[in-house]
Amino acid sequence: MFEFTVLATEDRARSGLLRTPHGMIHTPVFAPVGTQASVKAVTPEQLSSVGTSLLLANTYHLYLRPGFEIVRDQGGLHNFMNWSGPILTDSGGFQVFSLSKKNNIDDEGVTFKSHIDGSTHRFTPEIAVEVQNNLGADIIMAFDQCPEPYNRATNERAMVRTHDWVLRCKSAHNSTNQALFGIVQGGIFPDLRLESARFIAELDLPGNAIGGLSVGESKEELQSMTKLVAGILPAGKPRYLMGVGSPAELVSAISNGVDMFDCVLPTRLARHAAAMTRSKQMNMKKSIYANDNKPIDIECCCYCCVNFSRAYIRHLCKAKEILGATLLTIHNLHMLHDMMKDIRNAITAGEFVTWKQTFMDNINL
């Protein structure tokens, strides 16, 4: 049901194939975020057309609304949202800590108030696994504590707690067609990251994630912690860097041996009138695009770039038409998926180092 094969490597970068119950995933792969069983502004058919092979849905949000029992009774996430491809659910840990204005963390779990109606709820590792088992995703995440990155004492406590919780998640997990991933924590402290990576690696789970990054640390710290942890995690298991989605950060992490990514960045930027290219972001509300008949990216073959001008996209964004967000979402996701495909091909051909240098040169223009 679940198998990962490394097909090619160049330095630490690798191209692979991840088998799941709902299909194959070619890695490196970027997963759009469908927080509430929906990637904002686009349909499942549109997601498929731009090359999406893996989606992420959010355990915390679906637990609160509509409730995991409803999703279960509707046949699970795949049937509920009409998506036939692989799905990954996070554990809800990050949202429990970041969205709740008041939460109480102890060694057993977290008591928190809903951001929707203020009602009180309790999450434990066992509950997080139960919810994800019922949602029916192909890949589920262990419940972890994601602290701010710079307080050492807080990160030490969170790491110990995360290690205890992943053991409890492993014991509670009873679905044979779902892969449970562990999560490495440790903030920006190299010794804690090494300790956590070694602990998670020894559990021999189907895959492993690098958590607690892209939460306020510098780009240099993000890259150094990623490189450190990826060097410890098993080569025969997929490595997943959580919450990273800019082209430069993706390329850097792939260079360090990471296989999987997710982020709200491309869809959030689209809803704020920003188009992504491999080298820059474009504010489509700028007046310079008012009478520009070129596509967003002349080298892009997405539905948006093939059919519409910068002038039209600017008009939609200025007029606050929903179609503007849809077309920009299609473009931004297509751009990232297309970049990932080029990276996989470059690694397979033994040309990734050259590809990366050209990519970096274009960014620095």
Q: Measured between alpha carbons, how far is 277 from 16 in angstroms, rounded to an integer?
A: 25
Q: Measured between alpha carbons, how far is 105 from 123 in angstroms, rounded to an integer?
A: 10
The answer to whether residue 262 is catalytic is yes
The answer to whether residue 164 is catalytic is no
Task: State the catalytic residue, choosing from 138, 144, 262, 297.
Answer: 262
Using alpha carbons, select from 44, 33, 173 the residue that is nearest to residue 94: 33
Buried b (16+ CB within 10 A) or exposed e, 228-253: bbbebbbeebbbbbbbbbbbebbbbb
Task: State the catalytic residue, choosing from 90, 144, 259, 297.
Answer: 90
DSSP class per residue in 152-218: HHHHHHHHHHHHHHHHHHHHH---TT-EEEEEE--TT-HHHHHHHHHHHHHT--SEEEE-S-SSS--
Place of tokens 């995991």: 68
The pair of structure tokens assigned to 123 is 């999450």
**Residues designated catalytic:** 90, 262
